[in-house]
Structures are given as structure tokens and as C-alpha cells.
Structure 1
Amino acid sequence: MDLISSNIFLIVLFSSFIQSITGFGFAVVGTPLLLFFMEPKQVVSLMVFGALILNLMVIYKTRGKSDPKVIWPMFIASLIGIVPGVYILKVVDPSNLKLCIGMLILLVSFFMASNYVMTIKREKLATVLVGIVSGFMGGATSLSGPPVALFLMNQQQDKEAFRANLVRYFCLGNIATLLVMYFMETMELGVLRQGLYAIPGVLLGVWVGEKAFAKVSPKLFKWITLGVIFFCGTISVTSELIKR
């Protein structure tokens, strides 16, 4: 195993650990770290592939705890946003994309840390809009999670339903994004060979995360996750600004 493959394994392990506990964070944590030694297109392909495996595992462990009335409208709406998101990936300069990813991560971490709760009167409409934004971000950066996580957190779902809804939505989104990337020829098929080293990282990360999920309070892990997200976003932005 070379250095890059070892790094992929460790990053995927940690990202899987975070997402198996909170229901989100795989791409948010892993993307800025992988961007240090991989191109954005490669990172997106690898993260979507790894997230699909992870979400299938967590879906099995959260049987009967999701709400299809939330998941399906949001997913169908996300399909509208995926195509323009993937197109942006084809035309935007990689350095600009990396900077935008980092800034987006920082913005999301601030919102999540504020504990601000917005009263939403038209929840069905909000669900559709969140899905569109999530699809666009997923196609462009693989970061489809933050809009959905913020929405479900705002709706104050309990930790079991929160995680179950997120992983099911993400799994559907992963499949759709992979198909769109394949037909629009933005998928880096070569990186999937390195993705083989991600599979053990996903398996181990989910196993450890499930053990921790049952014992540690969601509040504690929320702040741990926010700290990691903020750190990764800061590193991603500052590293790109230094180059300029």
C-alpha cells in the first residue's frame, strides 16, 4: 500500500466514523483532507463511491426508523439540482472549486453551531427547495449533506430519526450522482482502483461509530463534528489563499 492509498484509508476511516454516529459528515470531513493530494474530480468520484457503501451499511442498522414522506420528496427535488451541479464541475477551475468548498464548509459549521431554529410554515415547499440545493451541491462538490442536515436539525428530529433519514436520502443521492457523472463523463474511473482501499476504512469506521453511537450523547458528538468541520474548512480555504 503506497502513501496515497494509506492516506485514503485513514481519511475514509475517520469520515465513516463521524457519519455513522451523526448521519452526516463523510464528505464534509473527508473532502478537504483528500483535496491536499487529489484533484477535485477524483475526490468527488471517490467520496460518492465510499459514501454509497457506508450508507447501505447504516441503512441496514437503522431499519424502521426513517420517514419516507420526508426522504422521497427531497430526493426527487434533488435530481433537478444534480445536473447543473455536475456541469459546474466540468467548467470551473479546480482551485476556485476548492476555495468554494472550504468557504461553504465554514459557513455550514457556523450555522450548525448557532443553534438557531427557524419556524417553517410551509414544510413541504421547504423540503423541495432543500432537495434542489442539496442536489446541486452534491453534483458539484459531493457535499450534498449540509443543507439536509441543517434542515433536519432545524426541525428538531431525534437522533435516531435524524440519522435514519439522512443516510437513506444520501444513499439515493449517491446512486443518482454516480449515474449522472457517468453519462456526463465526469467520473474518474481510475480513482475507483484506489477506492478499494477505502472499503476497509468504511467497514472499520462504521463498526467503531456504531459502538460509540450507543454510548456517547449526540450533543457531545455534534460539537466534536462541528470542530472537525470547522478545522477542515479553515485548512482548505487558507491553503488555497496562500497559493495566491
Structure 2
Amino acid sequence: MEAFIAVAAEPATLAMLAAVFVAGTLRGFAGFGAGLVFIPVAGALIGPRAAVIVLWAIDSLPTLPILLPALRHADYRSVLPAVLGTAIAIPFGVHVLATLDPVLLRWGMSVVVVVLVILLFSGMRFEGPRRRASAFGVGLIGGVLGGATQLSGPPMVVYWMSGTEAAARIRANLIVFFAFGTVLSGIAFYFNGIFSAESLMRAAIGTPVYFAALMTGQRLFSLASERAFRAVAITLIVMAAIVSLPVFDGMLRPQ
């Protein structure tokens, strides 16, 4: 209990909760984006490996209220091949997480975030045939990113946004895809010894905040303009990616 209280009182943990709320709100609204906001900021505050584990934990069971309705609307002809590709590639990403230098990994995560956000913002789309093989290939890319950084979503977002599906279908596909990915990542994390008691304690502290944010985001999905919200979300994501670069550690890390 003393260790839990000590972790909860750390300035880095308290600052992390703000990122948890923003990430959860975006996830509840759009079905994706939690990692884009949370990983860069939390990676600077508590380290990239701890950030990945915290996000994995808070984005598991607390997402059931948005997962259960999505199960009825997802396109499994596209989702399941993507999940298969992700399952094959996740162990490679987890190996990168376990072995790469933390500072180098943080630089890589921030660069990936900025590039993918630019792609989403620019309107660039995947224009190839929408076959099971293409979904599988994009899933491979997402799996490597997901295992290393919990950022498996952007490739799938770009892919599914390229079609004619309604926003509700795309959102459902992403939510179901992430649910499978969470299970696969957890298995890979366990066998690679990535979990730590301190990270799980931080996750326990952040879970109630994340759950409340998910419900807030789901409510906003039915009220807010998609165009306006996307503009705000992309702005937040870009700011998070830039501010969390290692060169800004003096601002984010308590001295």
C-alpha cells in the first residue's frame, strides 16, 4: 500500500492523468487515438515502456461499454484479416520495445506520431483494392507499431477511411480491432517480461479517469460536429507529439 501511495503522489503520475483524460475522451468519440495522445506525453513523463503498459491496462476492460455495441456493427470480412496480420507482427514490435534504447524509442514514437497525423490531416488515403489481403498487410504494419508503441491504429484508420463506409462502421471496426489487439499485446507483453508492478499501479490510478473520459467521448460522438472535433483532436495530437520530444524533458520531467 505504501508503494501504491508513493506512486500516486509522484508529480509524473499526476501529470499523466491529464493525458489519460484527453486520450480517453478521444478514444470514446472516434474509436481510436488514445495512443496518439497518451504515448508521447506519458513516454516523456514515465518512460516509453511504462507508458505502453499503462495504456494497455487502462484500454482493456474499461472499454467494454463502447466495445459491446460495436460488435454488432463491425465488418468482420475486413477486421479479421487485419487482426491476423497484427497477431503475426506484434511479437516483433514487442521485441523492439524490450530491446531498443528508451530515448531512441521515444524519438521514433514521436516521429511516427507526427508522420501519421500529417497523413490523416492531409486526407491521404489507401486507394488499392479493398481485399482481405490488403487488410492483412495493413494489419502487419499496425502490429509492429502496436507491439512497440501501442500505436497500431493510424494505419488502420487511413485504410478504412479510404472506403465508402459510414463513420459509425469505421468506428466499430476500429473498436473491435483494438479489442483483439489488446488481448494479443497482453500475451506478448507477458512472455517478454514487459509488465512491471509500478506501471500496473499507475494504470490502476488512471483507470477511473479513463473510464469517465470514455463515457464523455461516447456522449460527444452523438453531439459534436465530426469536422470540428477532428480538427481539435489533430491539434492536440500534434502538440503532444512535439512537446514530448526528448529535447523538452526539462519541461515535462520533474527535477
For Structure 1 versus Structure 2, the TM-score category normalised by the shorter chain is over 0.9
Confirm or deny: 8 A CA contact 1:82 1:138 kept in the other structure: yes
- 1:145 positional shift: 0.9
1:201 aligns with 2:209: yes
Offset of 1:233 from its aligned partner? 1.5
The answer for the alignment partner of 2:107 in structure 1 is 99
Structure 1 residue 216 corresponds to structure 2 residue 224: yes
Partner of 2:176: 168
Alpha-carbon deviations, 1:52-95, whole Å to 9, x = none?
A: 13432211243521111111111011111111111111221100
Moved over 4 A (4+): none
Structure-2-length-normalised TM-score = 0.89
Q: What RMSD, in angstroms, separates the aligned Cα atoms of the two structures?
A: 1.9
The secondary structure found in structure 1 opposite 2:129 is coil
1:188 and 1:155, CA in 2 relative to 1: closer, same or farther beyond 3 A?
farther
**Within the alignment, does 1:177 sit opposite 2:189 as a pair?**
no
Name the CA distance, whole Å, in 1 between partners of 2:30 and 2:130.
Answer: 26
How far apart are the structure 2 equivalents of 1:4 and 1:156?
42
For residues 10-21 of structure 1, what are the structure 2 equivalents within 5 Å? Answer: 10-21=18-29
Correspondence for 2:82: 74
Q: Deviations over 1:187-239 (max 9, x none)?
A: 22331112111111122101211221101122222221111111112223362
Give the match's secondary structure for 1:155.
Answer: coil
The answer on 1:83 being equivalent to 2:98 is no
1:121-171 CA distances to partner (integer Å, 9 max, x unpaired)? 252221011111111111111111111111111224211111111011001
Moved more, 198-207 or 114-123: 114-123
Gaps spanning 5+ residues in structure 1: where? none
User: How far apart are the structure 2 equivalents of 1:5 and 1:189?
Assistant: 14
% identical equivalent positions: 21
Which residue in 2 is equivalent to 1:126?
Answer: 134
184-193 vs 33-42, which moves further: 184-193
CA distance in 2, matches of 1:217, 1:37: 32
Correspondence for 2:253: none
- Tell whether 2:240 aligns with 1:232: yes
Equivalent residue pairs, number: 243
Gaps spanning 5+ residues in structure 2: where? 1-7, 251-255
